């Protein structure tokens, strides 16, 4: 078995990961100390924004008036799919109660967190879809209070993002980006409730701020730059595969796109075509995609479909797109990806924007150990137990015996005393 590299990835110059962590640590310390005044200062210095910071509910509700009817309709379409998927996911997990032994009853409850904070990235693109993916899913999980932060962009917050947040059901929205936005939700700045969990994608500063705050506050994941892998066999169209790779490369210079194929003519055609398709993109997307393809794009030639599958499992991509025969075989075989796209009719962009399954997904190989954002992240799976008198003897004896074997006499005594008749216990 061997996989031949037809285009390897020289990589990007080393990034200042340590610098980013230091910057975030300093910023969070100051935000904890000086709260709103630090947030205002960072917003002014980093984003040129001096408020207003909270979007009034009337403004959110009226944001659609600044949008084309077609965009409003598309947002409604995407929201309906995302909500339907999240609701099906919610219905797939249940509370239960089970009698483990006669009289020994235990159960599981699913309790939504009290408040979720959604970060909706700004920067180069207006991430309408991220607003829908995070807030809609929290709502479907039953979270009673959902707040959101989004950076201002050049001319203030993007009306399409505000409309998406409104449709998805955000209760409060702040125009605040990066570390100061994340901190506002975690620390309850500007009168926000303190979020129990922080979710949503963002740049390295956003991811690092979530990582550093994690502990008392939950996070969905530490997300890096987005990535995509295409598996294509001889049945695939080189033009479609090349377009899909070029399209996803526009995410930016740090976002890899990979192709694994067992068909050399397809690999060679894609290698010729991707740069042409990238050249045809408008700027600044063209430069971003060019850089991503040059530094991180890979084309690999495998001997068999099993080898293609093994390669995909090793890369554990965020998005995995199969353009090959026998899709059922692939769906059963593949086991490391954030979201799977089956067939040439679908495309990663469908999942990114509108199909329904969540687009906040594990990146940088994290799909080895986790899936993406789901209603589960907003639900606490907690347990309870209850013991009837006739179940006590066996349970108390087993507990006392294990406790003494562990050297925990105090535990053993709390078990022993449950064996004494109730009247005697109450009298003592
Ligand atoms: N995986 C997904 O599902 C998904 C979806 C959408 C977006 N994304 C990711 O979101 C990210 C968007 O990044 P972005 O930068 O355009 O927007 P962003 O909203 O993540 O970050 C913008 C903020 O970064 C802060 N910032 C910028 N430079 C800084 C500095 N030197 N020091 C401290 N703070 C600084 C500013 O406060 C600014 O408000 C991209 O990495 C993209 O890949 C991922
Ligand atoms: Zn994408």
Note the ligand closest to the C-alpha atom of 22.
1
Q: How far is CA 227 from the centre of its chain?
A: 13
Average pLDDT of every residue of the chain: 95
pLDDT tens-digit series, residues 113-154: 999 999 999 877 889 999 999 999 999 999 999 999 999 988
A 10 A CB-CB count for 235 gives 12
User: If DSSP codes are grouped into helix, strand and coil, which group holds residue 337?
Assistant: coil
Please state the atom number of ligand 1 nearest to the C-alpha of residue 119: 19
User: If DSSP codes are grouped into helix, strand and coil, which group holds residue 99?
Assistant: strand
The pLDDT value given to residue 12 = 76
Which candidate, 264, 252, 255, 203, places its Cα nearest to that of 229? Answer: 255
pLDDT tens-digit series, residues 27-39: 999 999 999 999 9
* Same domain, residue pair 215 and 92: yes
The pLDDT value given to residue 428 = 64
Which candidate, 357, 328, 266, 297, places its Cα nearest to that of 84? Answer: 357
Residue 385 annotated as part of some ligand binding site: no
Token pair 């137990």 in the structure block, residue: 385
Flag whether the ipTM exceeds 0.90.
yes
Number of domains comprising the chain: 3
pLDDT tens-digit series, residues 327-372: 999 999 999 999 999 999 999 999 999 999 999 999 999 999 999 9
Residues 6+ apart with CB under 8 A from 359: 129, 130, 133, 339, 351, 352, 353, 372
Per cent of the chain over pLDDT 70 is 97
CA of 178 to the centre of ligand 1 (A): 7
Does the pLDDT of residue 275 top 90, yes or no?
Answer: yes
Q: Is the peptide bond before 52 cis (omega within 30 degrees of 0)?
A: yes
For residue 356, tell me if it sits in a domain. Answer: yes
User: Residue range 193-197: average pLDDT?
Assistant: 98
pLDDT tens-digit series, residues 43-77: 999 999 998 999 999 999 999 999 999 999 999 99
pLDDT tens-digit series, residues 2-26: 899 999 888 877 665 678 999 999 9
The pLDDT value given to residue 165 = 98
* Same domain, residue pair 242 and 167: no
d(CA 44, CA 358): 33
* Residue with CA at minimum distance from ligand 1 atom 41: 203
User: If DSSP codes are grouped into helix, strand and coil, which group holds residue 249?
Assistant: helix
CATH code assigned at 340: 3.40.50.1980
* Same domain, residue pair 241 and 363: yes
For residue 6, tell me if it sits in a domain. Answer: no
Q: Where does ligand 1 bind, in terms of residues with CB under 6 Å?
A: 23, 46-47, 121-124, 127, 130, 151, 177-179, 201-203, 205-206, 223, 225-226, 251-252, 359-361, 363
Residue at which a domain ends, from 173, 189, 220 = 220
The pLDDT value given to residue 422 = 66
Q: Are 40 and 50 in contact (CB under 8 A)?
A: yes
The pLDDT value given to residue 253 = 87
* Same domain, residue pair 83 and 191: yes
For residue 378, tell me if it sits in a domain. Answer: no
* Same domain, residue pair 203 and 284: no
Give the domain range for residue 406: 388-427
Note the ligand closest to the C-alpha atom of 250.
2
Q: Which residues are catalytic?
A: 318-319
CA of 125 to the centre of ligand 1 (A): 10
CA of 181 to the centre of ligand 1 (A): 11
What tokens appear for 234 in the block?
């001889």
Residue 303 annotated as part of some ligand binding site: no
The pLDDT value given to residue 426 = 66
Question: What band does 412 get if pLDDT is binned at 50, 70 and 90?
Answer: very high
């Amino acid at each position: 078995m061997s996989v031949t590299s037809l285009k390897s990835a020289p990589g990007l110059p080393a990034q200042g990961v340590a610098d980013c962590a230091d910057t975030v640590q300093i910023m969070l310390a100051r935000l904890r100390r000086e709260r709103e005044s630090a947030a205002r200062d960072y917003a002014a210095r980093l984003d040129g924004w001096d408020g207003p910071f909270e979007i009034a509910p009337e403004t959110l509700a009226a944001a659609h008036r600044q949008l084309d009817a077609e965009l409003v309709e598309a947002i409604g379409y995407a929201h309906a799919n995302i909500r339907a998927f999240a609701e099906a996911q919610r219905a797939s997990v249940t509370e239960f109660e089970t009698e483990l032994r006669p009289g020994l009853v235990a159960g599981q409850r699913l309790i939504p967190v009290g408040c979720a904070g959604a970060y909706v990235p700004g920067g180069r693109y207006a991430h309408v879809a991220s607003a829908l993916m995070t807030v809609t899913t929290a709502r479907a999980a039953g979270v009673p209070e959902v707040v959101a932060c989004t950076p201002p962009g050049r001319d203030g917050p993007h009306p399409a993002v505000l409309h998406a947040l409104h449709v998805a059901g955000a209760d409060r929205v702040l125009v605040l980006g990066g570390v100061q936005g994340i901190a506002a939700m975690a620390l309850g700045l500007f009168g926000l409730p303190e979020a129990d969990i922080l979710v949503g994608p963002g740049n390295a500063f956003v991811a690092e701020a979530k990582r550093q705050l994690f502990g008392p506050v939950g996070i969905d994941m530490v997300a890096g730059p987005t990535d995509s892998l295409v598996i294509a066999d001889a049945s695939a169209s080189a033009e479609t595969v090349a377009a899909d790779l070029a399209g996803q490369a526009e995410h930016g210079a740090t976002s890899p796109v990979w192709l694994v194929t067992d068909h050399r003519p397809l690999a060679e055609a894609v290698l010729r075509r991707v740069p042409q398709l990238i050249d045809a993109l408008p700027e600044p997307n063209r430069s971003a995609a060019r850089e991503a393809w040059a530094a991180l794009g890979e084309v690999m030639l495998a001997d068999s479909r099993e080898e293609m599958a093994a390669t995909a499992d090793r890369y554990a991509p965020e998005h995995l797109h199969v353009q090959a025969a026998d899709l059922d075989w692939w769906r059963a075989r593949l086991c490391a990806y954030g979201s799977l796209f089956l067939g040439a009719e679908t495309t990663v962009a469908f999942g990114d924007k509108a199909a329904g399954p969540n687009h906040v997904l594990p990146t940088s190989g994290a799909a080895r150990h986790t899936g993406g954002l789901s209603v589960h992240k907003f639900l606490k799976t907690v347990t309870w137990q209850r013991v009837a008198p006739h179940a006590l003897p066996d349970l108390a004896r087993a507990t006392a015996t294990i406790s003494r074997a562990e050297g925990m006499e105090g535990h053993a005594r709390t078990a022993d005393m449950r064996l004494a008749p109730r009247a005697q216990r109450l009298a003592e």
